[in-house]
């Protein structure tokens, strides 16, 4: 059960200490289930430290409510940091570290001490070293100071008048607890990696203009990436006048700061108050977490960035980041580049070619569509042609490539030659291209995709060496036995006390391979019944259920889809697995799923509410003008392209129709009901799990009717084409008269060679001008989408490309 054979040498002590602490705390808890506050008056471990006493590596302090523990935490072989953590380990046995005194300078496992000197100074000394590794630099004139860990997780040094001489809340490392302020003097700094707690690359801080920002900085580069650096502070809803510079989250999950950064965690105000923390994570995101006590895991309840590729530095130099709903994000080296360190993307990729000598002038350029590298431009060249841009980059020695982008507002293309290729992003959402400079004659070779493997935690060797190492063989053997015995006892205790009544999974990994996106949560049936006022206001039907409008406790308006009882047979776990993946998909043209409910026979899904209903509801009124129709065509294509491509054909929609294209208050489209085809009517067993003929007559691709043809993402392309034709002509494919094939009708009309054919096709009910050229392209693209042969249909991202490049 407790495998000790793998551990060696002095690490025995390292492994034993936190476990011993847990064990002892557990014994305390078991014998005095309610530790009364009278213990607070004790000033010797484990409740406090008085003047002139010290803590050794094996000692610890616990808070009166036993939630927090302070002590020496093992960060590597014979390396310890004085830390505060949540007493109770997670389901996988790991402890959650909240604070560290000496994260960048660990101390030896033996003879290191935290001492409260007679002068009132708190010092941390490494074994046999004269100078302290860390100190609070405090003085106590009243000779009455004592150190205590309080019920909020704050380690306080006070004198007898209650005056605070020093407190850990003033010097956070990467985590804030509820009611612990973020201040201008104390930024949060991420850890270097999941297993290395020393200071890392990301920082949350108050900038000079009083705004809370996230910045990446390593030895070479530095750059702010949140809030969006392309916007002014006020455009991101921040205010620059809060010169007090303070931000704080209360215990119910509401955060507020002087720059108007305000958010509620997804479980704010639910009544029950879980343990919470705000952490500057090693992956560069700032997140709020709540402890799920029954499962022993942290749940993300808010995060600063939902598109992880917007975080700078994540993929290193010469590599691009793309979103992946399974892995979160995926790094890929540029063509003709290889990864420098196979275990760590932050090192980036190096070229496999020798750069040409400068001024040679015959470099070639490799076109990488939908790509961007942020910042590090040598110049800004508006109104430039592609050729001029290439000439410019050939001329500049350190030009590594350039971004070329058509600006719709300005009406011309812009060229940005780059001297550094960092913060790379690849997304069908992004409408610019990168042209990579390669020496003439290089044959472009795309690099293989590599997934960032977050689960492998390398074992760590501390690079500081210690001159004292007298541990002899026999004590080592003794330690090994002690570790094994205590380890076994401890496991029994943990299991008994904390998980005895719950089946728990140990496969969950805390941290960066996040299972649940921010804002996504489980609702109770009662909550949703109340929100929808007993399912009174029906706003739509189809896709396996009825949709109702509702209002949540926090006043958010939602659409609640109640799945038909007959159409779902799967259990809660199965439903959860699928909806959490759907909840993770994040795109401006996809409806956001905010949560679900699975209780008894009830299965409900909770979505954001769209003000202007579906495209179907708006098609026949004159509310949509031609520009809006074109934008709907483009937005819908982008949403589907994201589903198909960034998700690697993971989600086929299978029911694209005007009823599933929803419109927000500005008539921008979002695709809804995706992923449901997999959720509903699963007859289990066969893997190509689509029961035949799914979707809506009139919009269904021919291959649905032929048993032998495979179902691919091209079925959605076909349906999309039909919807576009419907939008342009105003004719519905579902009512007769056209024999179901609108594309033939349109193609016939097009046959006439004269230029007036567009006029004969477009919906005469829609008033207003249209751009003939744009309409022509839209119709032609839609017709290609409706091709009988699925292989002749374009992919959704090709559709996006074609619509974007109408000139």
List of residues contacting ligand NAG (CB under 6 A)? 76, 150-152, 154, 156, 164, 167, 169, 192, 196, 198, 254, 262-264, 268-269, 317-318, 341, 343-344, 348, 350-351, 355, 383, 400, 411-412, 460, 462-463, 554, 611-612, 623, 665
Q: Are 190 and 202 in contact (CB under 8 A)?
A: yes
| Residues ≥6 apart with Cβ < 8 Å to 272 | none
Q: Are 120 and 112 in contact (CB under 8 A)?
A: no
Closest approach, Cβ 201 to ligand NAG, in A, equals 9
Compute the distance between CA of residue 174 and CA of residue 180 in angstroms, rounded to an integer.
12
Q: For residue 605, report the phi and psi dihedrals to the nearest 5 degrees.
A: -120, 140
Task: State yes or no: cis peptide before 227, omega within 30 of 0.
Answer: yes
Burial of 797 (0-12, 13-18, 19+ CB in 10 A): buried
Closest approach, Cβ 410 to ligand NAG, in A, equals 6
Closest by Cα among 85, 60, 100, 87 to 199: 100
**655 part of the active site:** yes
Compute the distance between CA of residue 427 and CA of residue 431 in angstroms, rounded to an integer.
9
Which residue number, 164 or 478, has a Cβ lying nearer to ligand NAG?
A: 164
Handedness of CA 328, 331, 332, 334 (dihedral sign): positive
Which residue number, 93 or 355, has a Cβ lying nearer to ligand NAG?
A: 355
Per annotation, catalytic residue among 655, 673, 681, 801:
655
The CA-based dihedral angle spanning residues 58, 488, 276, 574, taken in that order and rounded to the nearest 10 degrees: 160
Please report, in angstroms and rounded to a whole number, the separation of the first and last CA atoms in the chain.
68
Closest approach, Cβ 644 to ligand NAG, in A, equals 29
DSSP assignment of 286-321, as one string?
A: EEEEEEETTTTEEEEEEES-SSGGGSTTSS-TTEEE
Compute the distance between CA of residue 323 and CA of residue 517 in angstroms, rounded to an integer.
13
Closest approach, Cβ 245 to ligand NAG, in A, equals 19
Which residue number, 18 or 733, has a Cβ lying nearer to ligand NAG?
A: 18
Closest approach, Cβ 441 to ligand NAG, in A, equals 16
Which residue number, 459 or 501, has a Cβ lying nearer to ligand NAG?
A: 459
Compute the distance between CA of residue 644 and CA of residue 641 in angstroms, rounded to an integer.
5
Q: Are 42 and 15 in contact (CB under 8 A)?
A: no
Compute the distance between CA of residue 686 and CA of residue 297 in angstroms, rounded to an integer.
34
Pairing of strands 593-599, 521-522: parallel
Hey, how many other C-beta atoms are within 10 angstroms of the C-beta on 325?
20
Compute the distance between CA of residue 776 and CA of residue 520 in angstroms, rounded to an integer.
42
Burial of 542 (0-12, 13-18, 19+ CB in 10 A): middle
Which residue number, 224 or 460, has a Cβ lying nearer to ligand NAG?
A: 460
The CA-based dihedral angle spanning residues 51, 56, 58, 64, taken in that order and rounded to the nearest 10 degrees: 20
Compute the distance between CA of residue 447 and CA of residue 450 in angstroms, rounded to an integer.
9
Which residue number, 423 or 428, has a Cβ lying nearer to ligand NAG?
A: 423
Q: Are 450 and 331 in contact (CB under 8 A)?
A: yes
Strand order in the sheet with 49-50: 49-50, 146-149, 155-158, 164-167
Compute the distance between CA of residue 112 and CA of residue 306 in angstroms, rounded to an integer.
43
DSSP assignment, residue 195? S
Closest by Cα among 178, 171, 247 to 206: 247
Compute the distance between CA of residue 117 and CA of residue 165 in angstroms, rounded to an integer.
13
Closest approach, Cβ 348 to ligand NAG, in A, equals 4
Closest approach, Cβ 612 to ligand NAG, in A, equals 4
Two tokens, residue 147? 């150190």
Closest approach, Cβ 624 to ligand NAG, in A, equals 9
HSE on the CB side for 33, CA within 13 Å?
A: 1
Handedness of CA 372, 374, 377, 382 (dihedral sign): positive
| Residues ≥6 apart with Cβ < 8 Å to 414 | 380, 381, 382, 383, 384, 404, 405, 406, 407
Q: For residue 758, report the phi and psi dihedrals to the nearest 5 degrees.
A: -60, -40
DSSP assignment of 432-473, as one string?
A: EEEEEEE-TTPPP-PPPPEE---S-----------S-----H
Active site (catalytic) residues:
655
């Amino acid at each position: 059960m407790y495998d000790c054979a793998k551990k060696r040498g002095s690490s025995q002590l390292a492994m034993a200490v936190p476990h011993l602490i847990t064990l002892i705390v557990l014994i305390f808890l078991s014998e005095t289930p309610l530790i009364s506050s009278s213990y607070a008056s004790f000033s010797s471990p484990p409740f406090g430290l008085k003047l002139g006493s010290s803590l050794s590596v094996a000692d610890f302090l616990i808070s009166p409510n036993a939630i927090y523990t302070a002590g020496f935490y093992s960060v590597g072989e014979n390396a310890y940091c004085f830390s505060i953590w949540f007493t109770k380990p997670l389901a996988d046995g790991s402890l959650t570290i909240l604070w560290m005194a000496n994260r960048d300078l660990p101390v030896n496992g033996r003879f290191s001490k935290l001492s409260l000197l007679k002068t009132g100074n708190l010092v941390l000394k490494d074994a046999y070293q004269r100078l302290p590794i860390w100190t609070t630099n405090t003085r106590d004139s009243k000779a009455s100071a004592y150190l205590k860990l309080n019920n909020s997780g704050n380690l306080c040094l006070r004198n007898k008048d209650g005056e605070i001489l020093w407190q850990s809340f003033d010097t956070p490392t990467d985590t804030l607890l509820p009611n612990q302020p973020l201040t201008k003097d104390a930024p949060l700094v991420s850890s270097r990696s999941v297993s290395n707690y020393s200071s890392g690359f990301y920082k949350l801080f108050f900038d000079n203009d009083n705004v809370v920002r996230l910045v990446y900085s390593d030895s070479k580069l530095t750059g702010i990436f949140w809030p969006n650096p392309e916007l002014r502070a006020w455009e991101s809803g921040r205010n620059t006048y809060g010169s007090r510079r303070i931000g704080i989250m209360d215990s119910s999950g509401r955060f507020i700061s002087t720059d108007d950064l305000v958010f509620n965690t997804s479980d704010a105000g639910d009544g029950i108050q879980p343990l919470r923390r705000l952490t500057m994570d090693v992956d560069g995101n700032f997140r709020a977490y709540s402890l799920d006590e029954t499962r022993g895991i942290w749940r993300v309840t808010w995060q600063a960035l939902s598109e992880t590729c917007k975080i700078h530095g994540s993929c290193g130099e010469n590599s691009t980041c793309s979103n992946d709903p399974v892995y979160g994000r995926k790094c890929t080296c540029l063509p003709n580049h290889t990864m420098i360190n196979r275990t760590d993307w932050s090192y980036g990729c190096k070229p496999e070619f020798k750069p040409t000598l400068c001024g040679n002038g015959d470099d070639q350029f490799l076109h990488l569509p939908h790509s961007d590298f942020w910042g590090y431009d040598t110049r800004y060249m508006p109104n430039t042609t592609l050729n001029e841009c290439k000439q410019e980059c050939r001329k500049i020695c350190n030009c590594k490539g350039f971004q070329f982008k058509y600006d719709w507002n300005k009406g011309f293309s812009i060229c940005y030659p780059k001297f550094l290729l960092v913060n790379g992003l690849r997304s069908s959402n992004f409408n610019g291209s990168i042209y990579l400079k390669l020496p003439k004659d290089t044959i472009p070779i795309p690099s293989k995709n590599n997934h960032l493997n977050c689960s492998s935690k390398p074992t760590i060797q501390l690079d500081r060496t210690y001159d004292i190492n007298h541990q002899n063989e026999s004590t080592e053997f003794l330690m090994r036995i002690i570790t094994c015995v205590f380890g076994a006892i401890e496991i029994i205790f943990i299991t008994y006390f904390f998980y005895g009544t719950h089946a728990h999974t140990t496969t969950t990994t805390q941290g960066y391979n996040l299972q649940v996106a921010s804002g996504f949560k489980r609702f109770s049936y009662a909550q949703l019944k109340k929100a929808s006022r007993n399912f009174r206001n029906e706003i739509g039907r189809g896709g396996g259920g009825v949709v109702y409008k509702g209002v949540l406790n926090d006043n958010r308006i939602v659409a609640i889809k109640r799945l038909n009882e007959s159409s779902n047979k799967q259990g809660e776990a199965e439903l959860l697995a699928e909806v959490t993946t759907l909840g993770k998909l994040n795109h401006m043209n996809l409806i956001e799923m905010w949560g679900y409910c699975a209780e008894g026979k009830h299965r409900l899904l909770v979505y954001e509410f769209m003000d202007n209903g579906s495209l179907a509801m708006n098609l026949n009124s004159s509310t949509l003008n031609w520009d809006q129709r074109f934008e709907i065509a483009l937005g819908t294509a982008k949403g589907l392209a994201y589903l198909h491509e960034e998700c690697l054909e993971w989600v086929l929609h299978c029911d694209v129709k005007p009823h599933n294209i929803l419109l927000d208050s500005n008539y921008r489209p979002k695709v809804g009901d995706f992923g449901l085809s997999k959720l509903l009517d699963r007859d289990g067993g066969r893997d190509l799990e689509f029961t035949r003929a799914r979707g809506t007559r009139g919009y269904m691709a021919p291959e649905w009717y032929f048993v032998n043809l495979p179902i691919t993402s091209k079925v959605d392309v076909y349906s999309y084409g039909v919807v576009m034709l419907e939008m342009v002509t105003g004719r519905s494919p579902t009512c007769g008269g056209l024999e179901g094939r609108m594309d033939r009708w349109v193609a016939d009309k097009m046959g006439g060679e004269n230029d007036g054919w567009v006029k004969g096709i477009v919906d005469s009910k829609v008033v207003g001008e249209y751009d003939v050229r744009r309409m022509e392209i839209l119709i032609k693209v839609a017709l290609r989408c409706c091709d009988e042969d699925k292989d002749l249909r374009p992919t959704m991202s090709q559709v996006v490309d074609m619509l974007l490049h109408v000139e």
